[in-house]
Amino acid sequence: MSFQKHAAATFNTMSQMLELTGGDLFRVAAHAKASRIIKDLTIDIEALAKAGDPKALVAIDGIGKGTAGKLIELAQTGTIAEYEELAAKVPAGVMEVLGVQGLGPKTVKLMWDEKGVESIDDLKKIIEDGSILELPRMGAKTVENIKDSIAFLESSGGRLQIGIAQQVANRFVSLLEDTSGTIRVAFAGSLRRGKESIGDVDILIATNDPDAAREAFTASEGVMQVLAKGDTKCSIRSAIGDSMSRWGKDENAAVQIDLRIVDQQCWGAALLYFTGSKEHGVRLRERAIKMGMTLNEYGLFVDDGSDPSPPQSRGLDPMACETEAAIYLALNLPYIDPPMREDRGEMELRDHVHVIELSDIKAELHSHTVASDGKMTIEESAAIAKARGFHTLAVTDHSQSSAVAGGLKPDRLREHIKAIREANERIEGITVLAGSEVDILVDGSLDYDDDLLHELSVVVASPHAGLRAKPKQATKRLLKAIAHPSVHIIGHPTGRLIERREGLSPDMNEIIAAAIEHNVALEINSHWMRLDLRDTHVRAAVEAGALISINCDDHHPSDYDNIRFGVLTGQRGWLTAEQCINTWDADRLHGWLKSKR
């Protein structure tokens, strides 16, 4: 695990352990916040912390003296004394119990204090003998849910990549759209925000026939378990389906789906609430209170807060509730697109940020054909790109060191360049450019000699092997590739695979600065297994002014559809169309590519 990830996890665990031991709530929140900030950093935090200068750390937005000291301690000694003290007080099994979905620190603390629950096995025992029911607010229904959650945790656990969750969600959304009485259906939650991994899928429905919706949802094909079937909320566990098993996911893997039945009149308020993020929602509600209003899933109400009962139950009419836009407007905020709702500074915006959209993409600059490990011919790929309205496709098969991916030896690449240029003469309505996805070798040099690289119209340089290198080495390696005069784009810069491989952790700020200096674009690889650059990196690159390239890295015709996830990741990093070279018109893009020849 990288230092950064480890540090973020450590602070999060400390926050939970503080709460479990009855610690000061202010400190509980402070540690949780530090964890979030550390997780989002784009610098080599390990090097900074190892160097041991607290001033350099405190200079980072959101990091205070206390956090800085602990980061240094962690980097230099491998642990934090306060963490060790807390860990000595909280048995590891109690932390495992906290991992059961639906159990928060308050409940876990009660179970631990009152019933001596110090492990999942202990929890199972008090469920078995029924003594769990002696705890406050614990009914048969809740216990059933806890039981299911334990089974879920033991069988799979973890989060699902967005591409898989999206497929399952689409299936349920169409099913509900076709159910009688349905007025509208939409997915919300992290899926709508375009997060790289999804805890559970959230779907909203407004309907004239709630019973039909409940039945359709809970009895649909693939439903493995019904967790709840209430008036306003149903929860199920659904199989992900064997269509995904080729991605190495167990076909028995399940995903939880929450369906919320909401009023059509307050659709916007419900959508806003259940889209989250939770942190963004908290900030919105704080803002409403400051303005003498109350915001909840039923609407925005003028309400001084003197009556603790919810305003809708007092017969108050909301001043805004039909659309999200109306609520943002009433809160005196610009409309904030769902991918930006992460409490990463969006509340300070005074104007709408017009982020990149799917329809802005006009070129694919990273694609594979049967010449290496792709499934399409040049013609097939060009036809798909053209049908999408693209003006340019770059064919970039693998280079020689990627032997398992059918990488091309120099002679074969020369033939391939010729074949692509000939195909371009034949194919009308789109420009097909001869390129290569060239391996960045472990020492940072490229996989072909300079003359051959200069021959290529598009060079995407990507790391494929040696992905366990230390941050310093990784930074050096990528910097060298960026400085190579023939390189246009750095492909999937860290090489991570979501939920599967961490990849490189270079100092992203140095990488971004070098990319700007050498006029190189950094890729958002749209495949949902990669999404690399990740959202936080994109944000840093956008702020610094670097160029971004969003590509599908197509191997298969259906890979073109992944562009949606790349664009969402761009939006999560506040990327505008202007800064993404795939949106430029043909003249501008071709001119930029040639400027490196």
User: What is the smallest separation between the CB atom of 547 and Zn ion, expressed in angstroms?
Assistant: 19
Query: Which CB sits closer to ligand DGT, 189 or 374?
Result: 189
Residues 259 and 237 sit within 8 Å (Cβ to Cβ): no
Judged by beta carbon distances under 5 to 8 A according to partner kind, the member of Zn ion, Ca ion, ligand DGT, none in contact with residue 277 is ligand DGT
Report in angstroms how near the CB of residue 367 gets to ligand DGT at its nearest: 31
Q: List beta partners, residue 238.
A: 223, 255
Give the torsion sign (CA, 356, 386, 524, 509). Answer: negative
Q: Is 351 exposed, middle or buried (0-12, 13-18, 19+ CB in 10 A)?
A: exposed
In the stretch 405-444, what mask flags binding to Zn ion with x, by CB under 5 A? --------------------------------x-------
Q: How far is the CB of 486 from Zn ion (least distance, A)?
A: 17
Determine contact, residues 345/335, Cβ cutoff 8 Å: no
Q: Which two tokens stand for residue 284?
A: 């919105």
Contact (CB, 8 A) for 65 and 94 = no
Q: How many residues does the chain have?
A: 597
Give min distance, CB of 421 to Zn ion, in A. 21
Does the footprint of ligand DGT cover residue 277 (CB under 6 A)?
yes
Selected binder of Ca ion within 19, 122, 196, 202 (CB under 5 A): 202
Q: Which of 19, 40, 44, 202 binds ligand DGT (CB under 6 A)?
A: 202
Does 532 interact with Zn ion (rule: CB under 5 A)?
no
Max alpha carbon distance in the chain (Å)?
A: 79
The residue whose two tokens read 């904030």 is 336
The residue within the footprint of ligand DGT, chosen from 11, 267, 274, 448 (CB under 6 A), is 274
The pairs formed by 155-158 with CB atoms below 8 angstroms and a separation of 24 or more are 155/252, 155/254, 156/250, 156/253, 156/254, 157/99, 158/499
The minimum distance between CB 466 and ligand DGT, in angstroms, equals 32
Name the one range near Ca ion by CB under 5 A: 123-131, 197-205, 485-493, 585-593. Answer: 197-205
Binding of residue 162 to ligand DGT (CB under 6 A): no
Asked whether position 258 contacts Ca ion by CB under 5 A, the answer is yes
**Residue 553 lies near Zn ion (rule: CB under 5 A):** yes
According to the binding rule CB under 6 A, does residue 199 interact with ligand DGT? yes
Does 268 bind ligand DGT (CB under 6 A)? Our answer is: no
Give the residue, chosen from 73, 114, 118, 200, that forms a contact with Ca ion under the rule CB under 5 A.
200
Q: Of the candidates 512, 453, 455, 538, which has an alpha carbon nearest to the alpha carbon of residue 487? A: 453
Distance between CA 333 and CA 348 in Å, rounded? Answer: 9
In 3-state terms the chain splits into helix, strand, coil percentages (rounded to 5) of 50, 15, 35
Report helix, strand or coil for 34. Answer: helix
Give the nearest residue (CB) to Zn ion. Answer: 553
Q: Rule CB under 6 A: which residues touch ligand DGT?
A: 189-190, 195, 198-200, 202, 273-274, 276-278, 281-282
Q: Rule CB under 5 A: which residues touch Zn ion?
A: 437, 553
